[in-house]
Amino acid sequence: MSQSLGELIKRNAEMEMKKMEIFYNNYNKRFTLENAWKELRHDQKWCELATAKNEGSLKKRKCEDGGDSESSQATANKRPPGVKAAEKGSHKTVVKDNTLNEFETMWTIKQADLAAKERLSKLSLLDSLIGKKEPLAEYEEALKKKLINDLLSN
């Protein structure tokens, strides 16, 4: 059963000829690269390659930006990442989670700091109102009572 390399190549060429014959019988025209393009143009990979250059720049452009409507349908669904990209992405999420936790911690500290500063400012205002030797005006008396009530309620 061992076939020589020449026999395998000849057999492969015969199979290709039969495939082309079947295509011609089905569609009444010869197989060309245009037929393959019509099949593959909606594939995500080929859509990106077809619209890769925009006015000579090397940056890829999106299919929606000037691409024909047929090829822009293919990029509506994003390709799944490859194995290496998925591995890199999993490492980034851990870093993002740590960053998010750090940010939340800083935010709670900042909120506590602002509350302490506000309380301190109210205390200093109350201290200055209590420390006055001359009688207080109506608005100062009202402010003094309000500050005392606020500080005692907390």
How far apart, in whole angstroms, are the C-alpha atoms of residue 1 and residue 7? 12
Helix boundaries (H) for the chain: 5-27, 33-40, 44-50, 69-72, 83-131, 138-153
pLDDT in tens, 53-93: 444 454 444 444 444 444 444 445 677 777 777 777 666 55
pLDDT exceeds cutoff 90 at 17 = no
SS3 state at 54: strand
Tell whether the torsion through CA atoms of 4, 8, 10 and 11 is positive or negative. positive
pLDDT in tens, 122-136: 899 989 988 988 888
